[in-house]
Amino acid sequence: MRILFLIFLLWINLVFADSDIDAINKILNRSELSKDNYSLYIKNISKREKIFSYNEQKAFNPASVMKLVSTYAGLQLLGPQYQWKTEVLYKGNIKNKHLYGDLIIKGYGDPTLTYADFYEIIEKVQQKDIKYIHGNIIFDESFFGELKNQELIDDKKYRAYNVNPKSFVVNENTINFNFSISNEKINIQTFPEIPTLKVINHLKLTDQDCNEWKDALDYEVEKKSNVSEIRFNGSFDKACESKDINLSILSANQLSKDLFEKIWKLHGGVIEGEFKNTYQNFNDTHKIYEHQSKPLSLVVRDINKYSQNLIARNLLLTMLAENNGNPITENEAGRFTKESLMREKLKLDSLKMDNGAGLSRNAKINAGDLGFLLEKAYSNLYMPEFISSLPNIGIDGTLKNRGKKLSVAKHAYLKTGSIQNVSAIAGYIFDKNNDVKVFVFMANDPKANESSKIQDDLIEWTYLN
C-alpha cells in the first residue's frame, strides 16, 4: 500500500507540474516576442523546486538588472559598512590664514557626494584657518586613474544616466533644472546656481498633456568664452505644472571648479592659483579634513530602488581599486568582479560585465546564472541589506506605480531593466503560501519594451500558485 501511495503522490505532482507549465505557456503565448528572444526562470527556493525555465542557459542583455550583480558583489567584497572617503590635503605651509602651497582634493570614487557635502567640506577647510590660497587647487583622481569613457548608450549625451564614472565627482556631475508655470509663462530655475552658466528659455507653453514631457524638451549647449549657454527649445505643457530634470551639461572638471570657486569666495576666500586635475599621487602632503559617505548598506538602496547608474558604475570600479590598485577600466573591473564571485562558488560562466550599471549593449548573463545568484544571496549573511535594496512592487522605487492592483503588490522585491529592445525584471516573490520564489525574465527583442503586461501576469501567477 505504501508503494501505491508514493506512486499516487508522484502522479499528483506530475499532473500539477504539467498544469503549471500549461498556465505559464498560455501567458507567454499572448506576447509578441520571438520564442528565441526571451528567457524565464522561476524557482521555489523554500522547497528547492524549479517551477519553470525557458532558455535559461542562453545569455541575454539584462540592462539595469545587472545592478543585482554589482550590489551583491559590493556587499560581499567591500562589506555593508564600507564608506567612500574624500580627503582634503595641502602641500606647503599655513600661516595667518594664508596657505603658501597647493590645496588638494583627493577623490576615492564617492559617487554620492552632493553639493551640500561639497559645501560642508569647503566650510571645514576654511574653519582650519585657511582663507587665502597662494597656490593651485588640484583635484586628485589617482584612485581610479584616467578612465577611458565608454560609448554612450544613446544620443542623449546630456542626460544624467549617461554620466561617465570618475574618482572625484560632485552632484553626479549634474545640474537640476526645474520647470514651472506662473502667469502663463514657463520659468526655469537651476540648482545649484553656477555663475558661468546661462539659461536661454525658448520653450513654448502647450495645453495638451504631460506624457513624455522630457522628450518634448529640446536643448542645445554651447560654450562661449568662459560661459556655457544652454538653450531650451521645444515645449512644456500646462498639465505638467512643475517638473525637474538633471542634466550633465558641464564637464566634471568644469563643474567641480565652478562649485569650489563659488563656495570658497562666498565666505570671503581668495584663490591666486589655477585649477588642475591630476592622476598622480602626491608625497609630503598634510591632511586637513576627510569626508565619508553613507555606508554601502544604504547606498545599495539608491542603486537598486532608483536605478542610479553612476553610483553602480563607481561601485564596480571601487571594488577593483580597493583590491587591486589602478589604473583600471570598467571592463577590467567587470572581469575582477566575475572572478571574485566565482571563487565564492557562484556559477557565473555566462556573465559579461563591462560596467556596473548594465548601461551597455555588450552586457550578458543567462537566467539560470542570475537565478542562482539570487538564490545564493537569499541564504547569505547580507541578505537583509540586499533584498531591502530592491523596489517593492506597488510601493516604492521604480516599481512604485506598477502592479498596485495586483495581488502580488507588496509581496515582491524586483529590479527592472530597460534600454531600447531590452526589458528585464528579476528578484524575489513571497507567495501567498509563504514560500519564497526567485523570478527572472529577460527579453531582447524589437517588442521587448512592450512586454511589461506579460511580465506582470507571470509575476502575479508566481505569487498565486
Q: Establish if 12 belongs to a structural domain.
A: no
Please, are residues 367 and 53 in contact by the beta-carbon 8 Å criterion? Answer: yes
Strand-pair category, 59-60 with 85-95: unpaired
Q: Establish if 25 belongs to a structural domain.
A: no
Residue 360: all three cell numbers together:
551597455
- Surface-to-core class of residue 10, CB atoms within 10 Å of its CB (0-12 exposed, 13-18 middle, 19+ buried): exposed
Please, are residues 252 and 160 in contact by the beta-carbon 8 Å criterion? Answer: no
In sequence order, the β-bridge partners of residue 392 are: 413
Residues 307 and 440 in one domain: yes
Alpha carbon distance 326, 100 (integer Å):
31
Residues 258 and 309 in one domain: no
Residues 213 and 130 in one domain: no
Residues 57 and 191 in one domain: no
Tell me which residue range forms the domain holding 191: 176-246
Q: Establish if 425 belongs to a structural domain.
A: yes
Alpha carbon distance 363, 365 (integer Å):
7
Q: Establish if 444 belongs to a structural domain.
A: yes
Q: Which of 424, 386, 414 is nearest to 70 (CA)?
A: 386
Phi and psi at 417, nearest 5°, equal -150, 140
Per-residue pLDDT for the chain (465 aa), expressed as one digit of tens each? 566 544 544 444 444 456 788 889 999 999 999 999 999 999 999 999 999 999 999 999 999 999 999 999 999 999 999 999 999 999 999 999 999 999 999 999 999 999 999 999 999 999 988 999 999 999 999 999 888 888 888 888 999 999 999 999 999 999 999 999 998 999 999 999 998 999 999 999 999 899 889 999 999 999 888 899 999 999 999 999 999 999 999 988 999 999 999 999 998 999 999 999 999 888 889 999 999 999 999 999 999 999 999 999 999 999 999 987 665 789 999 999 999 999 988 989 999 999 999 999 999 999 999 999 999 999 999 999 999 999 999 999 999 999 999 999 999 999 999 999 999 999 999 999 999 999 999 999 999 999 999 999 999 999 999
Q: One-letter amino acid identity for 81? A: Q
Residue 291: all three cell numbers together:
569626508
Residues 116 and 192 in one domain: no
Residue recorded with cell 502647450: 206
Q: Establish if 137 belongs to a structural domain.
A: yes
Residues 137 and 241 in one domain: no
Residues 369 and 400 in one domain: yes
Residues 455 and 329 in one domain: yes
Q: Establish if 14 belongs to a structural domain.
A: no
From the centroid of its chain, how far is CA 236? 28
CATH of residue 118: 3.50.80.20
Residues 50 and 71 in one domain: yes
Residues 65 and 189 in one domain: no
Please, are residues 172 and 162 in contact by the beta-carbon 8 Å criterion? Answer: no
CA angle 425, 429, 433 (to 5 degrees): 155
Q: Establish if 397 belongs to a structural domain.
A: yes
Of the residues 293, 320, 352, the one at which a domain ends: 293
Q: What is the pLDDT, as a whole number, of residue 151?
A: 84
Residue 453 host element (H or E): helix 452-464
Residue 164 host element (H or E): none
CATH of residue 77: 3.40.710.10
Residue recorded with cell 552632484: 171
Of the residues 262, 293, 324, the one at which a domain ends: 293
Residues 279 and 241 in one domain: no
Question: What is the separation, in whole angstroms, between the first and last Cα of the chain?
Answer: 30
Could you give the number of structural domains in the chain?
A: 3
Alpha carbon distance 109, 85 (integer Å):
8
Give how far Cα 96 sits from Cα of 121, 122, 125, Å. Answer: 20, 18, 14
* Cα Rg of the chain (Å, integer): 25
pLDDT in tens, 435-465: 999 999 999 999 999 999 999 999 999 999 9
Residue 62: all three cell numbers together:
539584462
Q: Which of 165, 166, 164, 140 is nearest to 87 (CA)?
A: 140
Of the residues 273, 293, 313, the one at which a domain ends: 293
Residues 377 and 321 in one domain: yes
Strand-pair category, 175-182 with 185-191: antiparallel
Q: Establish if 24 belongs to a structural domain.
A: no
